[in-house]
């Protein structure tokens, strides 16, 4: 299991992917689409909401108290 790594940068990209940088220097890609059918993440289906992603406290957040844990982001992402 990977030690907890903070996200240091996020860039929303087309088709509901996130380009992520982690504190270990890795750049990774995370597909948000599988989460969009879950109620807490439904607002992210709208691009104008999704593109507002920002890093706070080491993870990705959106307005409306939406976030994804850094563990999930790392473990379910692929190297860019």
- pLDDT tens digit sequence for 19-56: 999 999 999 999 999 999 999 999 999 999 999 999 99
Which residue pairs from 43-46 have beta carbons closer than 8 angstroms and sit at least 24 positions apart in sequence? 44/16
pLDDT band at 12 (very low <50, low <70, confident <90, very high): very high
Which of 73, 78, 80, 74 shows the shortest CA–CA distance to 35?
A: 73
pTM for this predicted structure: 0.94
Does domain 7-79 sit in CATH 3.30.2020.10?
yes
């Amino acid at each position: 299991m990977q030690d907890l790594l903070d996200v240091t940068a996020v860039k929303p990209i087309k088709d509901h992917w996130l380009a992520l940088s982690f504190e270990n220097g890795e750049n990774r890609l995370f597909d948000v689409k599988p989460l969009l059918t879950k109620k807490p993440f439904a607002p992210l289906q709208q691009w104008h909401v999704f593109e507002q992603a920002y890093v706070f406290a080491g993870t990705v957040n959106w307005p409306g108290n939406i976030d994804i844990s850094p563990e999930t982001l790392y473990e379910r992402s692929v190297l860019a």
